[in-house]
Structure 1
Amino acid sequence: MTEINSMKELLDSEYIIKDLGPLKYFIGMEVARFNKGILLYQRKYALDLLEDTGMLGSKPCSTPIEYAKKLVSSEIGTPLTDPSPYTRLMGKLLYLTHTRLDLSFSVRHLNQFLSKPTNVHFEGAKGILRYLKGSIGVGVFMPADSDLKVKGYNDSDWAGCPHSGKSVSGYCFYLENSLISWKIKKQQVIARFSVEAEYRAMTLAACETQWLLYLMHDLQIDHPQPVMLYYDNESAIHIAANLIFHERTKHIEVDFHSIREKVEAGLIYLLSIPTASQVADILLSL
C-alpha cells in the first residue's frame, strides 16, 4: 500500500487525479465484490445495447447462434445497402466478449462478414441479442480462494469453417478456478488431418501459456510447476512428447513444433481429458 500511495501522489502531482475508491464501474465493465470472490460483468452495457438496437423487448432464445444455418459466406441473402449498423453492432458485441466467454464463437463467426454483410448475417447478429436478453447478468466469477497455479483446456474443430475448410482453435486458461484468458481463432492454413488441426491448436495454447508465465514473472509471482494443459486428442499429445518426427508429421511447419520444446523444458505438462465412460468407471470405483 505504501508503494501504491506513493504512485498515486506522483501521478497527482503531474496530472491532478482523483481517487474514486474501490473499483465498481469502468468503461462498461462492472465489478461486484463478495466474500467468496469478484464478479466481472457488463449488465448495464448489455442493457444499453439492447435498448439502442430496439431488442429490449425481444423474445429470449437459448443459444447465441444456430450454426446449422451455415452462415458461411457473403453470397447468401441480400447485401445490406448500408452496412454501418451491422459493423457498429458487431464492434459492440466484440467488446462484450471481454466478460462473456459464451459469445466468443458466435461473434467471431459473424465478424468474418464485415466487408459484405447481408440481411441473413444481420438476423444472425439479432439472434445473439436475443440470447443476450435471456442471460443479461452473466459474467466471469473469480473465487477468492484460488491458488496461483495456471491450468488450461484446449481443443480444435477440424475443418470447422464450411466456407474455407479451415479448422478453428480454442483455449481457455484458469488461475486455479478463476478464468483469466480465452480465445477462439480460425487457423491460417487448411489442415489435411484432424491430428494436424489439433496439434496447431495445441501450439496456439502453448504460446498463451508462455505469455501468462512471463506476466506472472513480471508480477513477481513464482510458478515452479509445469502448466497443466488438458487436451482430448491422444495423437497430438504423442506427437508433442515424441522426439522422433513421423512421416505423417513432416508436412507440418517446423514452427508448430515449438510445443515440443516447451514440453521438453518442463514448461507444460500435457494431460488427456477423460471420456464419459472413463468418468463413469471412476465414479463406480469410489
Structure 2
Amino acid sequence: MSKVEDFEELRPLLFSIAYRILGSVSEAEDAVQETWLRFDGSATRPTSTKAFLSAVVTRISIDVLRSARVRREEYIGPWFPEPLLNDPYQDPARSVELADSVSMAALLLLERLSPLERAVFVLREVFAFGFADVAAAVGRSEAACRQLLVRARRHMEAGRPRFEADRGERQELATRFFDALRNGDVGGLQNLLAADVQLVGDGGGRAPQLARTVLGAANVARLLGTVFPWLLRVDVTLEPREVNGQPGAILRDRDGRILQALLIEVLDGRIQAIRGVSNPDKLGHLGPVADAWAVDREVKQVRRRMR
C-alpha cells in the first residue's frame, strides 16, 4: 500500500490514542495531522507502520499535554474534556472496554496522571500494546514503563467506583431521566438521582454556567425541573445521544445549533453525576454552535413576561 493508504487505515487508531491522552478533539486532530506530516516527510518506511505512527502521535500528544496543563490550571471554572460522539476506532471484541476508557469519568481520572503515566496507561491498558512498543513510544526503558504503569493503575483504581452499571441499566435510567427532564417532573428526577449527586457545568467563561457545583438530589432535581421547562419555551430541544461512550444528550437552539452537551454517570442504580459542557470552544467539532448568551437572554425575557 502507499503511504497515504497506510496512514488512512491507521488514522482512527491514532486519533483514539491522541484523544485519550489529551482529552481534546481539536488537539487530537492536530496531533494526527502532525503525525502524517512527519510520516510523509520521512525518507524510509518503518518495519511496522502501526508501531511507528503510534509512537509519533504519542510523543506529539505528550508534548501538547505538557503545555496544555498550564492552560487548564488557569481555566475559568471546572474543566472537562471535549465531548466525543463517535470514537472512530472500532474493535468489536473490546467495544465495551474502549467505550468505558473514553467516558468523561475515565478521562477526568486520567487527568490525575503525569503525561508519561497517562501515555503508558493508554497504550498498554486501553490498546494492549506490548511493553516494547510502549517503551519505544515514550522513550523510556521497558522497566521504567512497567513502573509508570504501576503508578498509573494505582491512581486510576483509587478513583474508580466500586460498582459500575451495565450498559442496559445506564440506558434505561437515562431514558427515564430525559423524559422527566422534558416534563419538568421534579419528583421523578429526584427519584433517579443519588443522594449525593453532583451537577457541574463547564462554560469556561465563554457561556452561561453554574456559579458553583450543585449538590444533593433535592437541589439538583429542583434546579433542573425548574430551568428546563423555560428552555423548552424558547424552543430548545434535547436530543439523546451517546456521549463519550455513555448516555447523554445534545441540547440545540431553535435553529438546530448546539447549545450544550450533557452527560450523565450512572452507578448502583442511580445517577451520580450530571456534567454539562457549554463552552463553545469545546463544541465546534460537533457542528454549528448556538449563541448561549442570546438563549439565556431570551429565557430571562420570557420569564419576565410570564410574571
Query: Quick check: which one's helix share is greater?
Result: 2
Larger Rg computed on CA atoms: 1
TM-score under structure 2 length normalisation: 0.26
More strand per residue? 1
